[in-house]
A and B are shown apart, each in its own frame.
Chain A
Amino acid sequence: MEALLEWWLTYQSAVAFIGVNALLALSVYATLSCGQLSLANAGFMAIGGYAGALLTLHTELPFALVLAAAAALPAVVAVPLGLPVLRLRGVFLAIATIGWGEVVRLALVNWDYTNGALGLVAIPQRAGPGVIYLCLALALFVFWRLRGSRAGQALEAIREDEPAARTLGIDTTAYKLAMFAFGAGLAGLAGGLEAHLTFMVAPSGYGFSRVVDMLVQAVVGGIAHFGGPVLGAAFLTLLPEALREVSRVTGMEPGPLRLLANGLVLLLVILFLPNGIVSLPQRVREWREERRAARALVG
């Protein structure tokens, strides 16, 4: 029991961060599940984080309401943004959403009310692993219910072949917009939680590298199943811990090493395991089948 408590004290924050990152990875997964590569979520996370921080610092609202606002505001903003932007295909959508993220970040850097580039500090720590995993559980519940349902099938159809889906009478615009807003809400929620976990919000935490992190976690985990992003988040959040030894041995600074590891893992996954870690058991099974068939042939 003592050992468990000690372990908890050491790893509590890592567990909390895995939860936040899982929410972020799921927010990217939300749009990827219908085939849209949206890199806007760092911007939505910033909106949620700042909204949460401002509400906590200037009002007496209970935490639950603060979080609800942190999730709702980006979702609401996502709708008028999504309508024109989701008309763009593939690469153009990615570029537009990258642009959005930067617009939000720049606006925050230039906004004196929130101290510009310095951001807001001294946010009381109202978020802990409990709240975070409760939110994560809710999000996973939504994805789980979505999976077999008509809506879920519609999303898959849109991902496989959008024009074909439209001919089947699926309202692709509505579905894409709904997932875009849902992803924005998740990112905002994660932003609000993180703000109350790390005591501060600043524009630098919501830059392009943030959204790349989210994307890496979603892709590495695997986007075929909603469990993938959670797995990816856990894997990549814990990776720096594992790299500590490597850093000591090679003498490379932990910052660049983590970046290098992220890049290498993403590259290896996209080249050799495109459906992510989640697809590993399936791939192993397929490989074994091939071996068996080949051996049977040789006899």
Chain B
Amino acid sequence: MQQVVNGLFLGSIYALFALGYTLVFGVLDILNLAHQAVFMLCAFTALALVGTLHLHTLVALPIAIVAAGLVGVLLERAAFRPLRGRSDSNISGLISSLAAATIFEALALAAWGPGQFRFPFGSVPDRRLQLGGAIVSEVQAVIIGISVAMMLALTWLLRRTRLGRHIRAVAESPLAARILGVNVDRVIAASFFISSALGGAAGVLFGLAFNDVSADMGRSVELKGLAVIILGGMGSMPGAVLAGYGLGIIEVFTVAKLGSSWRDGVSFAVLFLVLLLRPRGLLGQAATRLA
């Protein structure tokens, strides 16, 4: 039972991160490898807000998330928009995002150095609760809560708002959407804002959960994020959520049964198995669709 709780908590973070990945892939058909850099930068931003400006963690959280969203918009403008007409835009978009990720990581290293940083003592709650045979820490519960809230908000956004309809339209066919009067540029920018906000949120929560923020924290999560979206199906948001939680639970149980050196290996095993046996993942389709 304890492991299930741990898996849910880890899975929440993976699911949030993967949602951001899959949103951009669904809308633009591009794999944004800079997503993990935004993940990392947002964690550092939150750390700076709490550590240097002494803001309360719950105040720093939304500020950092909005900042991450803005970075996403900047990223789209600088690295993806110029490539939009090109025939090989998938591959060049990938390479461009790789360049952006390298730049972000370099800036983080220059600003904060290669060390590992912790949140200041007292800024992270550390009470524990008993819940039916399992010990849940307050941090874990809050993280699960915030993640679920963000996922519900995202679903509401995509299903019930005009922006959501526009996003789904652009994901279906940018040309048709433009003909129907949708401001495609603005919708894509909004998608990147949301995607990066999700990724950034995952980063802050990850940093809080493990009390460990470093310039290379995006690396391992990036690959797990890829495993999640492949497992869930590229472009499928419910798939990302399902697979995120799935991978979280699988990982936690693998570590419990086989030891921690298998922690990362299991994600790759899942990745390869899915790619070889069912490349479209659990909920993916031949054409990419959202929600």
Is the Cβ of A96 less than 8 Å from the Cβ of B106? no
Residues of A within 8 A of B227 (CB): 99
Chain B residues, CB < 8 A from A256: 106-107, 109-110
- The size bracket of the interface on B is 35 or more
Q: Determine whether the beta carbon of A103 is less than 8 Å from that of B268.
A: yes
Known contacts A96-B271, A267-B103; A102/B223 CB under 8 A? yes
Q: List CB contacts (< 8 Å) of B80-126 with chain A.
A: 82-83, 86, 90-92, 94-96, 98-103, 105-107, 109-110, 113-114
User: Shortest beta-carbon distance, B107 to chain A, in Å?
Assistant: 7
Q: Quick check: B276 and A263 within 8 Å, CB to CB?
A: no
Q: Select which of B82, B94, B98, B226 is within 8 A of A271 by beta carbon.
A: B82
- Name the one of B103, B234, B275, B276 contacting A264, with C-beta atoms under 8 angstroms: B103
Please name the residue on chain A nearest to B111 by beta carbon: A256
> Could you tell me if A94 and B223 are in contact, using CB atoms closer than 8 angstroms?
no
> A272's closest neighbor in chain B, by CB?
B82
Q: Contacts A91-B31, A215-B95, A263-B100 known; A252 to B275 CB distance under 8 Å?
A: no
The total of Cβ contacts below 8 Å across the A-B interface reads 107
Given A92-B279, A95-B31, are A270 and B92 also a contact pair (CB < 8 Å)? yes
A84-B276, A96-B275, A99-B272 known; A271-B95 Cβ under 8 A = no
The answer for the CA separation of A262 and B109 in the assembled complex, in Å, is: 14
- Is B110 in contact with A257, judged by CB distance below 8 angstroms? yes
B103-A260 in contact (CB<8A)? yes
CB pair A106–B109 under 8 Å, yes or no, is no
Give residues of chain A (205-223) contacting chain B, Cβ–Cβ below 8 Å.
207-208, 212, 215-216, 219
Residues of B within 8 A of A92 (CB): 230, 275, 279
B96 touches A271 (CB 8 A): yes
- Nearest neighbor of A110 in chain B, beta-carbon distance: B261
Given A99-B223, A252-B110, A256-B109: A263 and B102 within 8 A (CB)? yes
A-B contact pairs, 13 of them (CB 8 A): A91-B31, A92-B275, A95-B226, A95-B271, A98-B223, A99-B226, A110-B261, A208-B223, A253-B109, A257-B106, A260-B103, A264-B103, A266-B99
Q: Which residues of A contact B (CB under 8 A)?
A: 37, 84-85, 88, 90-92, 94-96, 98-99, 102-103, 106, 109-110, 207-208, 212, 215-216, 219, 252-253, 255-257, 259-260, 262-264, 266-267, 270-271, 274
Seed contacts A91-B90, A95-B31, A271-B96; 18 additional CB < 8 Å A-B pairs:
A37-B94, A91-B94, A96-B271, A96-B272, A99-B271, A103-B272, A208-B219, A253-B109, A256-B106, A256-B107, A260-B102, A262-B106, A263-B101, A263-B102, A266-B99, A267-B96, A267-B99, A270-B95
